[in-house]
Amino acid sequence: MVEVEEHQRAHSDQDDIVAEGASVVHGEPPQDETGPPKVDSEVEVLHEKVRKQIIKEGHGQKPSKYSTCFVHYRAWTESTLHKFEDTWHEQQPLELVLGKEKTEMTGLAVGISSMKAGERALLHVGWELGYGKEGNFSFPNVAPMEDIVYEVEVIGFDETKEGKARGDMTVEERIGSADRRKMDGNALFNEEKLEAAMQQYEMAIAYLGDDFMFQLFGKYRDMALAVKNPCHLNIAACLIRLQRYDEAIAQCGIVLVEDENNVKALFRRGKARAELGQVDAAREDFLKARKYAPEDKAIAKELRLLAEHDKAVYQKQKELYKGLFGKSPDPKPKPKNWLILFWQWLLSIFYSLFKQKRQKDD
């Protein structure tokens, strides 16, 4: 990884973290294709109709009433294991204000109120706190009196007295909230708290979702991208340090869709590709980055490392081919067979006698 001092000179930006060597939104967690994940942790009774099992511990405080929470979740009907919602698949976290949730999400809100940022849990919710006696026959499709199983992860939450949702904020307020999250993430990254930093960046991105960005143009879009893109790049830096290279490549790709010549995105994608052994693709990224930042020492260093790698590979191949196609060793002399030699001597004597007799006869 690039040293901090070198990276500060090469990629200094107040909107970006200042370390390269040290999860964009968390990648989709693994799951059992036949239904909810199997969990062995202790069952905690949160309510007569809500039970919880922790899959992954979180950190910090739990949200209070009227906190604006951002979560990813999957939902199954308990009797048939029919999955009817999946925000990971949709790549769009749910925003839920505790105390102001929809009636069908009452049980989900009970579970979320018991969870910390970064925590993932399995919730079993009775139909009374779900879609009720009537169920739901539009979207999502849930049968009447159907208990629900949730796999839910709390990305993070904002404590607000009035429970103000994103949709009720002005453009400036949403961008400002995202920027504060980004700065909090930078501070946590510099303290080596990568998971916590990642959650802050995810929260910032949640404020600047695709639906919101689609409505922006002009200076407001530029302001939002000035916060959103660094968050994706910072997540990529975290992922590289966590050796989650495929995810880091995806994060850089999001930025490059908006700005195909973004030097930081090209550099970090090149780093991730190099770690995966995708040497040609990595070189292509570094060369393109160097085109727009020709004095960048970090880029030059990575290109030098790739050149050394190519040289080492060439030497190994040369040694291999030398062994395959080099000069053949001299054949070893075969051992003599004395019996054959004896018969050859005896035949030569008979031939000599026969020849002398023929000469006399002539």
Report field, pTM of the whole predicted structure over 0.85: no
Q: How many CA atoms are closer than 13 Å to the CA of 338, on its beta-carbon side? A: 0
Which residue in 123, 111, 131 sits closest to 149, CA to CA?
123
Cα–Cα distances (Å) from 134 to 58, 105, 311, in that order, read 35, 15, 70
Question: Which range, of 180-189, 320-329, 344-353, averages the lowest pLDDT?
Answer: 320-329
Q: What is the pLDDT of residues 144-186, one digit of tens each?
A: 999 999 999 999 888 765 556 777 888 998 999 899 989 999 9
**What span, in angstroms and rounded, lies between the C-alpha atoms of 213 and 221?**
7
Which residue in 186, 235, 238 sits closest to 206, CA to CA?
235
What average pLDDT is seen over the chain? 84
State which H helix or E strand residue 303 sits in: helix 297-325
pLDDT at 22 over 70: no
**What span, in angstroms and rounded, lies between the C-alpha atoms of 278 and 220?**
37
SS3 354: helix
Q: What is the pLDDT of residues 185-238, one digit of tens each?
A: 999 999 998 988 988 898 899 888 888 888 899 999 999 999 999 999 999 999
**What span, in angstroms and rounded, lies between the C-alpha atoms of 110 and 158?**
17
Going from the N-terminus, what domains does the chain have, and what CATH number goes with each?
7-25+168-310 (1.25.40.10), 44-158 (3.10.50.40)
**What span, in angstroms and rounded, lies between the C-alpha atoms of 152 and 119?**
8
**What span, in angstroms and rounded, lies between the C-alpha atoms of 345 and 156?**
101
Q: What is the pLDDT of residues 294-309, one digit of tens each?
A: 999 999 999 999 999 8
pLDDT at 26 over 60: no
Cis amide linkage into residue 30, ω under 30° from 0? no
Q: What is the pLDDT of residues 51-102, one digit of tens each?
A: 999 999 988 889 988 888 999 999 999 999 999 999 988 878 898 989 889 9
